[in-house]
């Protein structure tokens, strides 16, 4: 059976009930069912649900956990002796391999090489065949050419062999080898497990597929479940090909499409469907089953700082209105985007937690950069601009004027260091004479303020880390070209994966979805960014305009309004009348009573001349605002709410005269009934 399950369609419920029904109907023996998925959290969720359905004997594990258990059991029979230890991290062995080859590599380069080794192994590419297999399709890693990467991969295998250790990919590869070479062991495994369920099947890589085929052994008792529209891990070797081609490999398979979305509102589902487009769904288009909700909104901000402040303000308002902080999430494409939001939330005393990544100031490259800056602060004479000095210093932590062209870890580290450099530029706009010591103090302050409680906090997560999760309210920031799709994405396949990544984010909210983008990076910067091309199909819902060539044009950028507060006590003003006068109802007036009475007498005179109610001339709130601000010029008077161009033309001179203690002109005003009759 092949189940094509769209986002929010209840696939975990469907497959656990299918397993439970098989057990309770007598078709399955619980101990003979193996359900595999890709994360320990998902496997734990499946086990919990199966226990609740009365079938605790079913095995629900990750691919690696299931393979490791079998490897440890069968190793003495297949190889002899104790099984090798599995190393938790590749980096130390990669570093030793690099040292043997006299390659000087920093930590991000080692992480990128470890990721490349993982990708090659799950795609069944050997070190000897690596250069030819990837030539023309992948660049080198960490500044190394393909041959150098292949040599390092081979040396890495030598290091592991000498240490008698294996990595997680070896667990899968070794189990594939044992099952293929030892028919008796393969028969034993197949006798133990007769029925298989594979969740998130779109994330299967070639070695996992090969292992699954050996487990199943040509039988038909296998059910795969997945959504090709949520394939976002191709960099790890995942491919939706196995899911989409399942009916061709198994012609008698039943194909079931779960299309009813029970998570999100029709408005959210409509937007997600439009952004994804029909070509990437694999035949599944979501149909909303929930109640209607607010229309998703796209907000344009002048810069990243304003975007973070605007989002934080909206979050605070929702929490005050009763939405639990734990039911709100802010999603972004790169981890470096979290710093501005972390700072904005901390400044408003909003608790938050960072999921799927370290807090900005806890990242190794940031800690190293701050340490270097702390040392440089002693020798900074202020002879050079702060931004230039900071960039020179953090160059020792890996920053460079141009971002790295390959390697996700290297790019992520560069983005974090670039964010520090940009913070230095921002500090100079506020304190032009700031030196490195001032900057370090600012970083210390930011780090200290961001130790917010993590319980019941707003979730900050990358779009990758958000997969499989859901919240009532979701903000997706950075919906602009260069971030979505990220600037590193090149080629049609990478761009479409970026689209699917946004689709994953769009399908996370239960009720409210708020998108935003910023025209510039820093405050006062030139607004060169444009909204993401992925939003173009939904432009009519989000207020985007299309140019003559069908391209999405920039939406009107607005600076978010800051909440107005009482000039006396500082509380947020709730009503329009309070905001107009700038004072809450609990605080006493701050105007001169004699001035206010003169204004009231003048308003009464004008209302009688024009034969209209007094409030038509000016409302009480506007008159109070005039008395409290006492403008002395036409420009200042025009800035008061309720004084529009027409009233400024009619009454401006008289109001200024009253405020100055002068007399006003006699006779009917030009818009009085007498003048209108003439």
Tens-digit pLDDT profile for residues 610-658: 887 787 788 877 888 898 888 999 888 888 877 878 888 889 999 999 9
Cα–Cα distance, 234 to 276 (Å, whole number): 17
Residue 576 has pLDDT above 70, yes or no: no
Q: Please tell me the predicted confidence (pLDDT) of residue 358.
A: 56
Which is more confidently placed, 673 or 67?
67
Which residue in 411, 415, 368 sits closest to 393, CA to CA? Answer: 368
pLDDT band at 517 (very low <50, low <70, confident <90, very high): very high
Pairing of strands 328-332, 471-476: parallel
Residue 390 has pLDDT above 70, yes or no: yes
Q: Please tell me the predicted confidence (pLDDT) of residue 526.
A: 79
Cα–Cα distance, 442 to 237 (Å, whole number): 42
Cα–Cα distance, 501 to 233 (Å, whole number): 9
Question: Which range among 42-56, 302-316, 368-382, 556-570 has the greatest average pLDDT?
Answer: 302-316
Which residue in 106, 113, 65 sits closest to 89, CA to CA? Answer: 113
Q: Please tell me the predicted confidence (pLDDT) of residue 402.
A: 80
DSSP 3-state helix, strand, coil percentages of the chain (rounded to 5)? 50, 10, 35
Q: Please tell me the predicted confidence (pLDDT) of residue 141.
A: 82
pLDDT band at 678 (very low <50, low <70, confident <90, very high): very low
174-225 confidence digits (pLDDT tens): 999 999 999 999 999 999 999 999 999 999 999 999 999 999 999 999 999 9
Cα–Cα distance, 283 to 592 (Å, whole number): 72
Q: What value does the mean pLDDT of the chain take?
A: 86
Q: Please tell me the predicted confidence (pLDDT) of residue 677.
A: 41
Residue 516 has pLDDT above 60, yes or no: yes
Residue 445 has pLDDT above 80, yes or no: no
Residue 441 has pLDDT above 70, yes or no: yes
Q: Are residues 577 and 584 in contact, defined by beta-carbon separation less than 8 angstroms?
A: no
Residue 145: CB partners within 8 Å, gap ≥ 6?
none
Q: Please report, rounded to a whole number, the percentage of residues in the chain having pLDDT higher than 70.
A: 87
Q: Please tell me the predicted confidence (pLDDT) of residue 446.
A: 72
Q: Please tell me the predicted confidence (pLDDT) of residue 266.
A: 96
Q: Please tell me the predicted confidence (pLDDT) of residue 411.
A: 63
Q: Please tell me the predicted confidence (pLDDT) of residue 676.
A: 42
Q: Which two tokens stand for residue 589?
A: 């007036």
Cα dihedral 422, 424, 430, 432, rounded to 10, equals -130
Q: Please tell me the predicted confidence (pLDDT) of residue 575.
A: 59
Residue 548 has pLDDT above 90, yes or no: no
What Å distances lie between residue 566 and 71, 309, 348, 477, 576, CA to CA?
A: 69, 20, 18, 31, 12
Residue 166 has pLDDT above 50, yes or no: yes
- Phi and psi dihedrals of 12, rounded to 5? -65, -40
| Helix (H) or strand (E) segment spanning residue 235 | none
Cα–Cα distance, 572 to 137 (Å, whole number): 57
233-245 confidence digits (pLDDT tens): 888 888 888 999 9
Q: Please tell me the predicted confidence (pLDDT) of residue 555.
A: 53
Length of the chain: 678
3-class DSSP assignment, residue 546: strand
State mean pLDDT over 400-409: 69
Residue with tokens 């779109």: 202
Q: Which two tokens stand for residue 21?
A: 């029904």
Q: Which two tokens stand for residue 273?
A: 């469907």
Poorest-confidence range of 287-296, 489-498, 542-551, 642-651? 542-551
Cα–Cα distance, 35 to 319 (Å, whole number): 39
Residue 29 has pLDDT above 70, yes or no: yes
What Å distances lie between residue 23 and 12, 20, 216, CA to CA?
A: 17, 5, 19
Residue 455 has pLDDT above 80, yes or no: no
Q: Please tell me the predicted confidence (pLDDT) of residue 573.
A: 59
Cα–Cα distance, 143 to 135 (Å, whole number): 15
Pairing of strands 287-288, 297-303: unpaired
70-116 confidence digits (pLDDT tens): 999 999 999 998 899 999 889 999 999 999 999 988 888 898 899 99
| Helix (H) or strand (E) segment spanning residue 8 | none
Which is more confidently placed, 676 or 361?
361
Q: Are residues 290 and 265 in contact, defined by beta-carbon separation less than 8 angstroms?
A: yes
Residue 379: CB partners within 8 Å, gap ≥ 6?
none
Cα–Cα distance, 185 to 182 (Å, whole number): 5
pLDDT band at 158 (very low <50, low <70, confident <90, very high): very high
pLDDT band at 672 (very low <50, low <70, confident <90, very high): very low
Which residue in 556, 530, 516, 573 sits closest to 310, CA to CA? Answer: 516
Q: Are residues 331 and 354 in contact, defined by beta-carbon separation less than 8 angstroms?
A: no
Q: Please tell me the predicted confidence (pLDDT) of residue 215.
A: 97
Cα–Cα distance, 276 to 285 (Å, whole number): 10
Cα–Cα distance, 636 to 643 (Å, whole number): 10
Cα–Cα distance, 365 to 575 (Å, whole number): 47
Q: By CB neighbour count within 10 A (0-12 exposed, 13-18 middle, 19+ buried), where does 540 fall? A: exposed
State mean pLDDT over 392-405: 83
State mean pLDDT over 417-431: 82
């Amino acid at each position: 059976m092949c189940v094509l399950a769209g986002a929010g369609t209840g696939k975990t419920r469907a497959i656990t009930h299918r397993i439970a029904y098989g057990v309770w109907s007598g078709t399955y023996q619980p101990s003979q069912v193996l359900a595999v998925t890709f994360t320990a959290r998902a496997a734990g969720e499946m086990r919990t649900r199966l226990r609740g359905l009365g079938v605790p004997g079913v095995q629900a594990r990750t691919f690696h956990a299931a393979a490791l258990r079998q490897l440890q059991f069968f190793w003495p029979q297949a190889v002899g002796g104790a099984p090798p230890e599995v190393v938790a991290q590749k980096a130390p062995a990669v570093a030793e391999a690099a040292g043997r080859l006299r390659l000087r590599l920093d930590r991000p380069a080692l992480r990128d090489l470890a990721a490349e080794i993982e990708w090659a192994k799950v795609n069944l590419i050997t070190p000897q065949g690596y250069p030819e297999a990837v030539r023309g399709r992948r660049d080198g890693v960490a500044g190394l050419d393909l041959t150098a990467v292949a040599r390092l991969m081979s040396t890495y295998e030598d290091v592991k062999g000498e240490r008698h250790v294996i990595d997680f990919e070896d667990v899968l590869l070794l189990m594939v080898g044992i099952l293929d070479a030892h028919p008796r062991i393969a028969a034993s495994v197949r006798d133990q497990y007769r029925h298989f369920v594979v969740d998130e099947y779109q994330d299967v890589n070639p070695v996992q597929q090969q292992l699954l085929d050996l487990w199943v052994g040509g039988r038909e008792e296998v059910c795969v479940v997945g959504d090709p529209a949520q394939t976002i891990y191709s960099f790890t070797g995942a491919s939706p090909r196995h899911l989409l081609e399942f009916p061709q490999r198994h012609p008698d398979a039943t194909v079931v499409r779960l299309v009813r979305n029970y998570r999100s509102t029709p408005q959210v589902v409509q937007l997600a469907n439009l952004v994804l487009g029909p070509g990437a769904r694999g035949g599944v288009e979501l149909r909303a089953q929930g109640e209607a909700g607010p229309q998703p909104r796209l907000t344009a901000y002048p810069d990243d700082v304003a975007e973070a402040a605007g989002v934080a303000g909206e979050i605070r308002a929702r929490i005050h209105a009763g939405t639990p902080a734990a039911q709100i999430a802010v999603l972004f494409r790169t981890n470096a985007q979290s710093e501005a939001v972390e700072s904005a939330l901390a400044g408003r005393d909003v608790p938050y937690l960072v999921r799927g990544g370290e807090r900005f100031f806890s990242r190794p490259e940031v800690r190293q950069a701050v340490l270097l800056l702390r040392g440089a602060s002693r020798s900074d004479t202020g002879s050079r601009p702060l931004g230039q000095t900071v960039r020179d210093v953090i160059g020792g932590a890996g920053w460079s004027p141009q971002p790295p062209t390959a390697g996700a870890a290297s790019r992520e580290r560069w983005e974090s260091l670039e964010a520090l450099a940009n913070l230095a530029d921002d500090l100079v706009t506020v304190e032009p004479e700031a030196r490195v010591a001032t900057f370090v103090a600012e970083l210390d302050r930011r780090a200290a303020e961001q130790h917010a409680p993590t319980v019941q906090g707003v979730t900050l997560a990358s779009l990758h880390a958000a997969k499989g999760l859901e919240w009532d309210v979701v903000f997706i920031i950075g919906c602009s070209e260069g971030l979505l799709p990220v600037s590193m994405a090149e080629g049609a396949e990478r761009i479409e994966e970026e689209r699917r990544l946004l689709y994953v984010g769009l399908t996370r909210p239960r009720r409210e979805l708020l998108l935003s983008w910023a025209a510039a990076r820093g405050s006062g910067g030139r607004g060169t960014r444009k909204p993401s091309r992925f939003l173009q199909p939904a432009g009519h819902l989000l207020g985007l305009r299309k140019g003559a060539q069908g391209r999405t044009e920039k939406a009107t950028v607005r600076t978010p309004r800051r909440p107005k507060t009482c000039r006396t006590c500082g509380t947020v003003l709730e009503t329009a009348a309070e905001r107009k006068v700038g004072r809450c109802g609990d605080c006493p007036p701050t105007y001169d009573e004699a001035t206010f009475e003169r204004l009231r007498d003048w308003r009464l005179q004008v209302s009688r001349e024009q034969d209209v109610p007094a409030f038509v001339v000016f409302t009480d709130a506007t008159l109070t605002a005039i008395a409290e601000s006492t403008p002395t010029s036409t420009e200042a008077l025009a800035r008061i709410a309720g004084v529009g161009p027409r009233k400024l033309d009619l009454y401006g001179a008289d109001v200024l005269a009253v405020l100055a203690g002068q007399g006003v002109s006699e006779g009917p005003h030009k818009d009085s009934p007498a003048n209108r009759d003439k």
